[in-house]
Amino acid sequence: MTKAPKDKQLPHLVFGGELVDLHGTTFKDLSKLDLVGMYPSYAAAYVAWKAKAQSTVDNAHMRYFIVHLHRLLDPDHPEKAG
């Protein structure tokens, strides 16, 4: 097995929006999703996610998520990191 190069891209998406209910993941209005951005690593995505989550702390129904796009693009070879 070959090692992945250190600079291998592992794209992550950060997005969020207002949820219908605190215990679910159904959004009130999909047209109002906040697409924060695409990031080359989990670490970079986490920084963006944390900033957005902290900026909306006053609205309990706002939730932000990190999607591991690299896992969707290549499901047979999931990365162990991030």
State the residue for tokens 């939730």: 63
Predicted local distance difference test score (pLDDT) of residue 1:
41
CA pair distance 29, 76, nearest whole angstrom: 33
Helix runs in the chain, H state only: 42-55, 69-73
Q: Where are the domains of the chain?
A: 12-27+36-73
Measured CA angle at 13 (ends 29, 58), to 5 deg: 50
- In this prediction the pTM is 0.80
The pLDDT tens digits for 20-52 are 999 999 999 999 999 999 999 999 999 999 999
The upper half-sphere exposure of residue 44, i.e. CA atoms within 13 Å in the direction of its Cβ, equals: 12
User: What average pLDDT does this structure show over 5-12?
Assistant: 78
Beta strands in 1-82 (DSSP E): 12-18, 34-39, 62-68
CATH 3.30.1490.20 fits 12-27+36-73, yes or no: no
